[in-house]
Amino acid sequence: MLTSHTADQVHEGGSLADELAAPAVSRAYVCQCGRPVYLRNSQCLACGTPLGFVTARVGMLPLAPVQDDAELFTVFGEPQGPRYRRCANFSTAAGCNWLVPEDPEADKGLSHTHGLAPGLCLACSATRTIPDLSVPENDELWLKMEAAKRRVMSQLLALGLPISTRLADPAHGLAFDFLSNLPGAPRVLTGHQDGVITLNIEEGDDAQREKTRAEMREPYRTLVGHFRHEIGHYYWDVLVAPTPWLQDFRALFGDETQDYGQALQRHYENGPPADWALRYVTSYASTHPWEDWAETWAHYLHMADTVDTALSFGVNAVNVELTSDLFTREDLWQPEHPDADRFLEFLNGWVRLTNVLNELSRSMGQPDFYPFVLPHAAVGKLQFIHQLVTEQRGQSAPQRAEGGEPAPVQEPPPAGDSALVQELPAEPALSQQDQAPVPAEGNTAPVVADAQPANAEDVQQQQPLAA
């Protein structure tokens, strides 16, 4: 059954996240008036208090305007605390509700985040390219892309994962290109290379995304899922390839040095192996060790955020009757690891919860909330990712080891004169028109290969980021 706990009960009896050994990221935000608020809000609908996401606090907080400057805020009840401004994209179609510290030195917050553009928050500083906003429907699609990205980035912050934008690390930093298909040009494909994540904004169109999902016979396709998968490739480059974790990765996921292009071609020509469901979280994970990693990584983030959200609101499913068996120590990669029991409780808490959520979805005539069955062989891979993520908490951004970078899948082409990237304004601007576009630098155009076999020419950059 589902049980509900008030905030007072949770504090008195201990954290529900502790009970189920979840990563313990709170998703239950509260206004100063005591009413619940949510990650997408910029104002409390009950009392009108302004709200904003503070990266240093990893949460949505009520704000109080500073008396001598209406554009400055402090956290409500902390008049002498750090001051913040709205992200410059608050007034654009992106509708960003994250905050920018007025004095970064006074509010260093998270030591593992690096690289803010002037006037922009961490999430918006990571967006390098946006679609052409002169196309009317692109406003809404850009909004959906940014909202999904903020959701995922807020989870990365809460998990203590390092985030360095392209501004801090021009060679390997995180950057997002949100592109649309152009008439007469090759189709934009979703993918990752060297920290640059490209997404076709048509994925923000619910009808088009469902059409693609059905055509590709996928059980699940969402914007948040795309971000979590592609960010997995980024973190493989950052946390696995240049570190001692690589040896254990190869033992669990396989040898990533096998030809990626050939592996993709085999997958799309022949399909997955007949026994894929016994070894992988999805059929696409069977394509190549890199894709197995990215799919498993995305599943771990799905699990962590969903369990944490449920527990944040006092929902658990401990007494649920299961349609499948729970996992045991024998399923783990390292059953004797000190954190093994906690991970196992987290994993089995997820199994119980998804049984309930699937039944709730069926009650509404909707597809299953979680249309997957975790094979026993994937549990060890999930534990590997759990231990890797746990190790990152409290650490600063890792140093890349010389020679630890994997070879690129394809060599990107030189960008043409029409390729435009984010210009960093000297001060926050109010609209996209306030910025002049600048040409992309040489070989910075991303290469993508996740949606189907791709050519380097399949990507074109279109618009600078609106600030």
Residue-wise pLDDT for 268-309, tens only, equals 999 999 999 999 999 999 999 999 999 999 999 999 999 888
What's the mean pLDDT in 180-202? 91
Q: What is the reported pLDDT for 115?
A: 84
pLDDT over 70 percentage in the chain = 74
* pLDDT bracket for residue 400 (50, 70, 90): very low
Is residue 113 a contact partner of residue 58, using CB atoms and an 8 Å limit? no
Checking if the pLDDT of 449 tops 60, the result is no
**Axis-axis angle for helices 289-312, 223-235 (nearest 10):** 120
What's the mean pLDDT in 74-95? 95
Query: How does 382-396 read in b/e, with b if 16+ C-beta sit within 10 Å?
Result: bbbbbbbbeebeeee
Checking if the pLDDT of 455 tops 70, the result is no
Per-residue pLDDT reduced to its tens digit, 310-364: 888 877 676 676 656 789 999 999 999 999 999 998 999 888 888 888 889 999 9
Average pLDDT along the chain = 78
What is the rounded CA–CA span in Å between residue 294 and residue 279?
15
Q: In which element (H, E) is residue 17 found?
A: helix 16-20
pTM over 0.75: yes
Q: Worst-scoring range by mean pLDDT, 67-71, 325-329, 365-369, 391-395?
A: 391-395
Checking if the pLDDT of 426 tops 90, the result is no
Q: What phi and psi, each to the nearest 5 degrees, are found at residue 320?
A: -70, 140
Per-residue pLDDT reduced to its tens digit, 229-261: 999 999 999 999 999 999 999 999 999 999 999
Higher pLDDT, 99 or 13: 99
User: Terminus-to-terminus CA distance in the chain, angstroms?
Assistant: 47
What is the rounded CA–CA span in Å between residue 21 and residue 123?
28
What is the rounded CA–CA span in Å between residue 306 and residue 312?
10
